[in-house]
Amino acid sequence: MKKTSLLLFLFVLCIGFAQTEDEKQFKTIYDMALTEGKAYHWLNHLSNQIGGRLSGSVQAQQAVEYTKSQLDSLGLDRVWLQPVMVPKWVRGAPEFAYIETKPGLTTNVPICALGGSVATPGIGLKAEVIEVQGIEDLAKLGREKIDGKIVFYNRPMDPTLISTFQSYSGCVDQRYSGAAEAAKYGATGVIVRSMSLRLDDYPHTGAMSYGDTPIEQRIPAAAISTNGAELLSTTLKLNPNIKFFFRQNCRQYPDVESYNVIGEIRGSEHPEEIMIVGGHLDSWDLGDGSHDDGAGCVQSMEVLHLFKKIGYKPKRTLRVVLFMNEENGLRGGNKYAEVAELKNEKHVFALESDAGGFTPRGFSFDCDDANFEQILGWTALFEPYLIHMFVRGGSGADISPLKDQRLVLSGLRPDSQRYFDHHHAENDTFEHVNKRELELGAATMASLVYLIDKYGTVRPSKVKG
Amino acid sequence: MKKTSLLLFLFVLCIGFAQTEDEKQFKTIYDMALTEGKAYHWLNHLSNQIGGRLSGSVQAQQAVEYTKSQLDSLGLDRVWLQPVMVPKWVRGAPEFAYIETKPGLTTNVPICALGGSVATPGIGLKAEVIEVQGIEDLAKLGREKIDGKIVFYNRPMDPTLISTFQSYSGCVDQRYSGAAEAAKYGATGVIVRSMSLRLDDYPHTGAMSYGDTPIEQRIPAAAISTNGAELLSTTLKLNPNIKFFFRQNCRQYPDVESYNVIGEIRGSEHPEEIMIVGGHLDSWDLGDGSHDDGAGCVQSMEVLHLFKKIGYKPKRTLRVVLFMNEENGLRGGNKYAEVAELKNEKHVFALESDAGGFTPRGFSFDCDDANFEQILGWTALFEPYLIHMFVRGGSGADISPLKDQRLVLSGLRPDSQRYFDHHHAENDTFEHVNKRELELGAATMASLVYLIDKYGTVRPSKVKG
């Protein structure tokens, strides 16, 4: 009994000491991020010197070169570019649209082509409009009511959901598959209400897909601002016979070569166990991609920078991966996982930041129960930094192809309330990112990586094959 | 044993049901706030139609009239104005300042008079500058090094504190008492680094006090933007003999009559138990006072509006109080408490929102252990709305004079990262308040009030006297 008590005492003592050491390490990480962090400086360059970084664009290439040069300057063990072929879609001349209540009487409305859409005819496309609340309405209406018309998808994001990502999920099928589905009923084009919870004049672009629609049956698709959608809907209620005109000359080019940008600190004890932190370097072209996902890139770079600055040498290999082409292809994420499998690399942990540079609230985890239990044991360490959310859920698009490795996948969860005000729109710009919020996110990521590195994951996953 | 088990079972069942009813009520409150809330609409009017509402100003009076008219329209049991005499300080012509590195060679810097400061001489004030890191430096330097100079308080907010309010507390003595203290050593004026964590060009005003400094010894005090402070500090390092010029013609007028605006829903079962929700209607004059504290006012009004909309009839009396003169006098808060004591009113709960209209994170409570324990039992209800912080601490300036009543005092705790970017500055404006964040704050307040109303406070406090 006595011996057990003593052991218990020593055990508690050890936990006590460990806790104190972890607490200190957290404080060191956060202090460094908030005083000597580089994330905001890097984001300034990405946003204001380079700008929107659509896959295949000059800006995307500039971003590859800039981030590689910055990683080169951090004294990492290795920095390299991983080639990947990416789609190249170009918006072309600014889009133009109006509502025609009667011939000659028109009201301009703000639209933008959806990413991947075909162009309208050069002189534009004018047709009557049929408003629907979602893809499921098409079958009810049938070809007779849709043929020859523009389908207007107008189901708004649900404002009563607290997570705006959940609201987004409930709408985005209209944008992604709306054109392919409407084409089946003879529609000539589609207009989609922007995925935003605000009423304003910004159209929000984003990826769409024609699926297996034959090329000659593909119809142009554009997003309309939420104010524009409200106007169009009201106008249609007054007169269902009004016409809508839009013109866009976007175009898909052959794939081009681009790169994932990767930097690595080799693990001192278990170099074969790889942890990655990442975001996606590409962005849409309307804004400068500060929140989506410049923020995630610079926060991920910052994790390695912070470890260097505080002199923390990870036991496991730590990589930052800046993925190319998350927005319209996920080619970078797929390529990274493919190469990892080819090389028989063993990934134990992957953390993505792709939900904006807002105040961090926690993480979501895609992992087994044992690992989630271990993580829940760490939450008290995060409490002083107001990090409260540790939930099961999705992680990040770019790291999801690694899932076969049965590793711990995680996504940073910043405050989501304002994310879709800016998402894929002209106002996703640098001035809407707050320096401290960005830095707190980076520190929060670094703190989790520190714990994963120190304590390891539970039942390290076996590499496939 | 059997009977006990049955009772226990019934007890658990009751708790289960109660929980479900509370969960439903929470959902109803949040849904209503996010879909039919009026807070944003009211704030738009206060900010964009009225603007900055410094005590004693025309705008403050307009705000009294507007909010009273809006409360009148809600169908409350009683709406009234509570007269209170308030100070009237007027900024006058725009301030002007420059650094003079040598005669004729000057660089303009943005400053603003601190609230309550005297003017400079009409032709301005020019003197050498002595930089200090706080009031405690004055005694070390002594009269010899300070006499005839302008004291430049340049201790910045500590960026490593997670709560920016804590950083603010660590600096604000320079602004509040800096002039009175420097005058004791013969200083001719003081310049204070703006209380902000950003580097930018906005000077931030705020209250200062001369304490018992005789009128003829009072020296002018101004805030300089953080970028201006950095420039001044750097310039001083290069040449300690440079001069600083500033001119301001602010003025204190005799007190004028103003009002607290109060609305009330009479309690259906315990009308004598009063719960209040409030913010302060006055603001500084540089911006439009959207975050400080237009947000808190409209959120407080919204609590009563939401209860009306969802048909919840409080058992206890619920009052919204829009306090006048929090910024430079606290006359409204003091008056409200004074009248409450005179009328022998029994307040059981007071909740203030005065920390900006950002995403709500939780509440701080100033109460006894028993009440805090009860509140901690409710936290799971708030979890789905991402409200995690339930801590002991300060509540709000306006409600603090009620403390003698030994009631439960509470303050809404929104995310604090961006608050001091806007606080008391020209950029505390409507466009920096997000509609959803504002509404979530109002719903969070209403949900707490609902629980306090339903379950009551523990050991209801005895009214003094």
What are B255-288's pLDDT values in tens digits? 999 999 999 999 999 999 999 999 999 999 999 9
N-to-C CA span, chain A: 49
Closest Cβ opposite residue B34 in set A160, A388, A421: A160
Q: How confident is the model at residue A1 (pLDDT cuts 50, 70, 90)?
A: very low
CATH number 3.50.30.30 is the correct assignment for the domain at B92-249: yes
Tell me which CATH code domain A26-88+254-455 carries: 3.40.630.10
Pick the residue of A28, A30, A40, A160 with the most B CBs within 10 A to test the interface with B by mutation: A160
- Which chain B residues are within 8 Å of A34, Cβ to Cβ? 159-160
Does the distance separating the beta carbons of B437 and A159 come in below 8 Å? no
For residue A155, what pLDDT is reported?
98
For residue B374, what pLDDT is reported?
97
Bridge-based pairing state of the strands B150-153 and B189-193: parallel
Does the distance separating the beta carbons of B197 and A31 come in below 8 Å? no
Q: What is the pTM of this model?
A: 0.94
Half-sphere exposure of A194 (CA within 13 A, CB side): 29
Pick the residue of A40, A359, A379, A444 with the most B CBs within 10 A to test the interface with B by mutation: A359
Does the distance separating the beta carbons of B359 and A435 come in below 8 Å? no
The structural architecture, per CATH, of the domain B27-88+254-455 is: 3-Layer(aba) Sandwich (3.40)
Q: Which of B337, B330, B353 is nearest to B402 (CA)?
A: B337
Strand partners, A380: none
Closest Cβ opposite residue B31 in set A31, A160, A436: A160
Which residues are CB-contacts of A200 (< 8 A; sequence separation ≥ 6)? A225, A226, A227, A421
Once rounded to an integer, what is the mean pLDDT over residues A36-63? 98
Q: Which of B355, B351, B350 is nearest to B292 (CA)?
A: B355
For residue A4, what pLDDT is reported?
58
Q: Which of B317, B332, B209 is nearest to B280 (CA)?
A: B332
Q: Are A200 and A169 a contacting pair, CB within 8 Å?
A: no
- Which chain A residues are within 8 Å of B417, Cβ to Cβ? 359, 434, 436-437, 440
What is the rounded CA–CA span in Å between residue A188 and residue A208?
Answer: 16
pLDDT above 70 covers a percentage of chain A that reads 94
Q: How confident is the model at residue B10 (pLDDT cuts 50, 70, 90)?
A: low
Half-sphere exposure of A81 (CA within 13 A, CB side): 16
What is the rounded CA–CA span in Å between residue B147 and residue A334?
Answer: 70
Does the structure show a pLDDT above 70 at B136? yes
Whether omega for the bond prior to residue B212 falls within 30 degrees of 0, making it cis, is: no
- Which chain B residues are within 8 Å of A388, Cβ to Cβ? 386, 388-389
For residue A7, what pLDDT is reported?
63
Once rounded to an integer, what is the mean pLDDT over residues A200-205? 98
Does the distance separating the beta carbons of B418 and A160 come in below 8 Å? no
Does the distance separating the beta carbons of B418 and A34 come in below 8 Å? no
Whether omega for the bond prior to residue B404 falls within 30 degrees of 0, making it cis, is: no
Q: How confident is the model at residue A17 (pLDDT cuts 50, 70, 90)?
A: low
Once rounded to an integer, what is the mean pLDDT over residues B336-340? 98
Q: Token digits for B22?
A: 């509370």
Does the structure show a pLDDT above 80 at A16? no
Closest Cβ opposite residue B434 in set A386, A418, A440: A418
Q: Which of B64, B65, B127, B54 is nearest to B92 (CA)?
A: B54
Bridge-based pairing state of the strands A360-366 and B389-392: unpaired
Residue A326 appears among annotated catalytic residues:
yes
Once rounded to an integer, what is the mean pLDDT over residues B327-356? 98
- Residue contacts between A and B (CB atoms, under 8 Å): 61
Once rounded to an integer, what is the mean pLDDT over residues A225-232? 98
What is the rounded CA–CA span in Å between residue A7 and residue A14?
Answer: 10
For residue A461, what pLDDT is reported?
46
- Which chain A residues are within 8 Å of B197, Cβ to Cβ? 436
Residues of B with CB under 8 A from a CB of A: 30-31, 34-35, 159-160, 162, 164, 197-198, 359, 361, 384-386, 388-389, 415, 417-418, 421, 434-437, 440
Does the structure show a pLDDT above 70 at A109? yes
Residues of A with CB under 8 A from a CB of B: 30-31, 34-35, 159-160, 162, 164, 197-198, 359, 361, 384-386, 388-389, 415, 417-418, 421, 434-437, 440
Q: Which of A326, A345, A352, A439 is catalytic?
A: A326
Q: What is the mean pLDDT of chain A?
A: 95
Closest Cβ opposite residue B35 in set A159, A418, A421: A159
In angstroms, what separates the C-alpha of B140 from chain A's closest C-alpha? Answer: 29
- Which chain A residues are within 8 Å of B389, Cβ to Cβ? 386, 388
pLDDT above 70 covers a percentage of chain B that reads 94
N-to-C CA span, chain B: 49
For residue A237, what pLDDT is reported?
98
For residue A18, what pLDDT is reported?
60
Q: How confident is the model at residue B1 (pLDDT cuts 50, 70, 90)?
A: very low
Closest Cβ opposite residue A35 in set B159, B164, B415: B159
Does the distance separating the beta carbons of B197 and A436 come in below 8 Å? yes
Closest Cβ opposite residue B162 in set A384, A388, A435: A384
Once rounded to an integer, what is the mean pLDDT over residues A386-399? 97
Position with higher pLDDT, A85 vs A8: A85
| Residue matched to tokens 């080639």 | A83
Q: Are A176 and A134 a contacting pair, CB within 8 Å?
A: no
Does the distance separating the beta carbons of B162 and A30 come in below 8 Å? yes
Q: How confident is the model at residue B113 (pLDDT cuts 50, 70, 90)?
A: very high
Domain boundaries, chain B: 27-88+254-455, 92-249
What are B158-202's pLDDT values in tens digits? 999 999 999 999 999 999 999 999 999 999 999 999 999 999 999
Exposed/middle/buried for residue B349 (C-beta within 10 Å: 0-12, 13-18, 19+): buried
Does the structure show a pLDDT above 50 at A153? yes
What are B39-88's pLDDT values in tens digits? 999 999 999 999 999 999 999 999 999 999 999 999 999 999 999 999 99
Does the structure show a pLDDT above 80 at A286? yes
Q: Which of B95, B131, B273, B326 is catalytic?
A: B326
Closest Cβ opposite residue B359 in set A384, A415, A421: A415
- Which chain A residues are within 8 Å of B162, Cβ to Cβ? 30, 384-386, 440
Does the distance separating the beta carbons of B389 and A359 come in below 8 Å? no
For residue A464, what pLDDT is reported?
39
Does the structure show a pLDDT above 80 at B410? yes
Q: Which of B131, B64, B436, B35 is nearest to B280 (CA)?
A: B64
DSSP 8-state class, residue B35: H
Crossing angle of the two packed helices A435-455 and A2-36, in degrees rounded to 10:
150
Does the distance separating the beta carbons of B198 and A435 come in below 8 Å? yes
C-alpha triplet A141, A145, A150: angle, nearest 5°: 105
What is the rounded CA–CA span in Å between residue B436 and residue B38?
Answer: 12
What are A244-269's pLDDT values in tens digits? 999 999 999 999 999 999 999 999 99
Does the structure show a pLDDT above 70 at B5? no
Once rounded to an integer, what is the mean pLDDT over residues A321-334? 98
Does the structure show a pLDDT above 50 at A329? yes
Q: Are B157 and B196 a contacting pair, CB within 8 Å?
A: yes
Does the structure show a pLDDT above 90 at A38? yes
For residue B464, what pLDDT is reported?
39
For residue A6, what pLDDT is reported?
62
